[in-house]
A and B are shown apart, each in its own frame.
Chain A
Amino acid sequence: MSDPILQVKGLKKHFEGSTGLMGRKKFTIKAVDGIDFEVGRGETVGLVGESGCGKTTAGRTIMRLYDPTAGEIIYDGQDLAKATSKDLKALRSQMQMIFQDPYASLNPRHTVGKIIAAPFEIHGVEPVGGVHKEVQMLLERVGLNPEHINRFPHEFSGGQRQRIGIARALALRPKLIIADEPVSALDVSIQAQVVNLLDDLQDEFGLSYVFVAHDLSVVQHISDRVVVMYLGKVMEIAPTESLFKSPHHPYTKALLSAVPVPDPEIERKRERIVMNGELPSPANPPQGCVFNTRCWKAQDICRTTAPDLLQIGGSQVACHFPE
């Protein structure tokens, strides 16, 4: 890819923990264990996988909400992993985050006006026409009534609160937005409204998105490319249509086969791939390919050697025996 806005190279985030009597047993959770992907300008990259696969940790580490254990996060040519807190503050005005829970991510004691204006205050920016006018413009842009600027979060519904979160993320005109499960707490009809809003804003402001979600239907709809994660590793990266129509990695195939389609006739005919066993603990991931314990194609090499992410057509796949 020429001139991507974000390059993630060999990114690792390990958490240390302890257990047992007096916390003497130490262990390491390898939440993100060496992932590589890129995000092009104006592109939406979906980050999917089951709970515990490291997708949220990856998103937060890219924002430097966590300090990475290893690897590079190159935003617009600059490595965030090495950036000082002063550099970071400047860079963060260009990258913003939208969170899952619209109830927990807005301060209940602040008015909507104050919440959306916070980025201006923190970064010492005075928008043309003044803060008040800009906030009203942002409210209007995300589909809220600008007259409601003095209301508090509890006076809004879940979907409206998510719009407030989006307005706040847009305030400084960022180039990259990391959206962590932005629509999973919303009802279906409201979810569609917010997905369309994110689509419109992308065109209007030339945004790039990293869209972290577990709902593959939504990811399929919104993403240009999809990164599939399992136990802290990337299994497959592919353009959306090719990933959903002809997945190369056995895990991707199994994951997709589990998603129910809202169509009774298709559901009656469908065969599901049942994976062996349960998700292993990220504190003790399997040797070799992390997916080998649940994979129906696993051979000896899968138990000893972790596969590299290799190019197959337009996709990148980490598997010794791709489909």
Chain B
Amino acid sequence: MKPFLEVKNLSVSFQTEDGVVRATDDVSFSVNLGETLAIVGESGSGKSVSSMAIMGLHNPKRTEIHGEIFLNLESGSVEINSAEEEVIRKLRGNQMAMIFQDPMSSLHPYYTINNQISEAWLLHNKGDKKAARARTLEMLDLVGIPDPHKRIDEYPHQFSGGMRQRVMIAMALVNNPKLLIADEPTTALDVTVQAEILALIQEMQKEFNTAVLLITHDMGVVAEVADRINVMYAGRLVEQGAVDDVFYRPAHPYTVGLLGSIPRVDEFHGKRLKTINGQPPSLIALPQGCAFRERCEFASHVPGNLCATTRPESTLKADSHQSRCHLNLAEVSAISAQRSAN
């Protein structure tokens, strides 16, 4: 069976006063139904830009999008990038839905919860307001909002941050979408609430067999919920693989550095944190060759001037685990092992 979402060679660039920003460059991945793919990376690495492209949310006047985004529906495949706005509008909120980091700014402050969720349902379903209200109630109950009969007529400001995020999830899932894009869904929440919301997303996924695309910078959250991981750096996908492969056998020096720089609540070494020196490059003036090379501690192990001249392509040929580095997994592992021994 084909994956529900297939992204092929996606490149998104914006025209700005300072020049062309290459937000994502040649990104390819897929997500199956019932599976969670996490996209991780630092600010500006292209995580959100990719998800906006999937939802067809970029302004075509200012954005140049190359590549293909297929939604493989039961009724056939749709390619988002070349589809008419009318077609995308029928899919958005129906076959694919999105939840954002800040539920307060994604909910309308002047309308009741019933108004907002009902509207989302009425857009894609035949039925009257009464049916929509019944469906809204059902969703509020499903996402664990206590006392839904009372709260359905309240306004967003009457809800706590965690409850608001539950409302967002109820709204996103009201039409049983096959794809849920969660863009930093728990970043604004306290850890205790975060744990509840992540559990809710997983529960809903199990119930509806949803494909989940989770965008986050928190490797702890990734370890908790993801099946597979995409690691992005400066607009490129630098590593992708199953969650265990990426955590226990990272193949890209950036992933190695990222994992090393996270403090953990279960480790008490009192040592300095490992860091990745320097900063990400500007997306307007990306360097030739590998975008990570100036921060890379492994670059000296690459023969010649390869990192500076040639952009690395995948070195691990197996479908499941790929990395864009001139060193292969065995070489990266050997160098990492040697470093931690010293």
- Cβ contact of B272, chosen from A196, A255, A257, A261, cutoff 8 A: A196
Given contact pairs A192-B273, A214-B191, A260-B223, A274 touches B196 in the complex (Cβ within 8 A):
yes
Do A264 and B247 touch across chains, with their CB atoms under 8 A apart?
A: yes
A258 to B265, CA, bound (A): 11
A312 to B298, CA, bound (A): 48
Q: Closest B-chain residue to A53, C-beta based?
A: B190
Do A278 and B163 touch across chains, with their CB atoms under 8 A apart?
A: yes
A275 within 8 A of B: yes
Do B268 and A217 touch across chains, with their CB atoms under 8 A apart?
A: no
- Cβ contact of A261, chosen from B217, B220, B258, B275, cutoff 8 A: B220
A90 within 8 A of B: no
Q: In the complex, which residues of chain A have a beta carbon less than 8 angstroms from the beta carbon of B257?
A: 189
Q: In the complex, which residues of chain A have a beta carbon less than 8 angstroms from the beta carbon of B106?
A: none
Most B Cβ at <10 Å: residue of A218, A256, A262: A262
B224 within 8 A of A: yes
Given contact pairs A188-B261, A214-B191, A218-B263, A259 touches B220 in the complex (Cβ within 8 A):
yes
A258 to B197, CA, bound (A): 11
- Cβ contact of A50, chosen from B43, B192, B199, B273, cutoff 8 A: B192
Q: In the complex, which residues of chain A have a beta carbon less than 8 angstroms from the beta carbon of B190?
A: 50-51, 214
Q: In the complex, which residues of chain B have a beta carbon less than 8 angstroms from the beta carbon of A261?
A: 220, 223, 264-266
A304 to B258, CA, bound (A): 48
Tell me the number of A-to-B contacts counted with CB atoms below 8 Å: 122
Do A262 and B261 touch across chains, with their CB atoms under 8 A apart?
A: no
A160 to B195, CA, bound (A): 32
- Cβ contact of A263, chosen from B160, B198, B247, cutoff 8 A: B247
Interface membership of chain A positions 91-118, coded 1 if the CB is closer than 8 angstroms to chain B and 0 otherwise: 0000000000000000000000000000
Q: Number of contacting residues on A, CB 8 A?
A: 45
Do A262 and B195 touch across chains, with their CB atoms under 8 A apart?
A: no
B162 within 8 A of A: yes
B243 within 8 A of A: yes
B218 within 8 A of A: yes
Q: In the complex, which residues of chain B have a beta carbon less than 8 angstroms from the beta carbon of A191?
A: 261
B221 within 8 A of A: yes
Q: In the complex, which residues of chain A have a beta carbon less than 8 angstroms from the beta carbon of B268?
A: 220, 240-241, 244-245
Do A189 and B263 touch across chains, with their CB atoms under 8 A apart?
A: no
Given contact pairs A50-B190, A261-B223, A192 touches B261 in the complex (Cβ within 8 A):
yes
Do B265 and A216 touch across chains, with their CB atoms under 8 A apart?
A: yes
- Cβ contact of B192, chosen from A160, A192, A199, A255, cutoff 8 A: A255
A214 to B268, CA, bound (A): 19
- Cβ contact of A278, chosen from B162, B191, B263, B264, cutoff 8 A: B162
Do B265 and A217 touch across chains, with their CB atoms under 8 A apart?
A: yes
B194 within 8 A of A: yes
Q: In the complex, which residues of chain B have a beta carbon less than 8 angstroms from the beta carbon of A187?
A: 42-43, 217
A31 to B226, CA, bound (A): 37
Q: In the complex, which residues of chain B have a beta carbon less than 8 angstroms from the beta carbon of A241?
A: 268
Do B263 and A196 touch across chains, with their CB atoms under 8 A apart?
A: no
B313 within 8 A of A: no
Do B259 and A262 touch across chains, with their CB atoms under 8 A apart?
A: yes
Q: In the complex, which residues of chain A have a beta carbon less than 8 angstroms from the beta carbon of B247?
A: 262-264
Interfacial residues of chain B within 186-204, with CB under 8 A of chain A in the complex: 190-196, 198-199
B330 within 8 A of A: no
Do B261 and A159 touch across chains, with their CB atoms under 8 A apart?
A: no
Interfacial residues of chain A within 212-242, with CB under 8 A of chain B in the complex: 214, 216-218, 220-221, 240-241
B274 within 8 A of A: yes
Interface membership of chain B positions 270-303, coded 1 if the CB is closer than 8 angstroms to chain A and 0 otherwise: 0011111101000000000000000000000000
Q: How far is the CB of B271 from chain A (nearest CB, A)?
A: 9
Q: How far is the CB of B118 from chain A (nearest CB, A)?
A: 25
Q: In the complex, which residues of chain B have a beta carbon less than 8 angstroms from the beta carbon of A240?
A: 268
13 contacting pairs across A/B (C-beta < 8 A):
A51-B190, A187-B42, A189-B42, A196-B275, A214-B190, A216-B265, A259-B265, A261-B264, A261-B265, A263-B223, A265-B244, A267-B224, A278-B160
For the complex with contacts A192-B276, A279-B160, 5 further pairs of A-B residues with Cβ separation under 8 Å are A187-B217, A192-B263, A221-B263, A257-B195, A274-B196
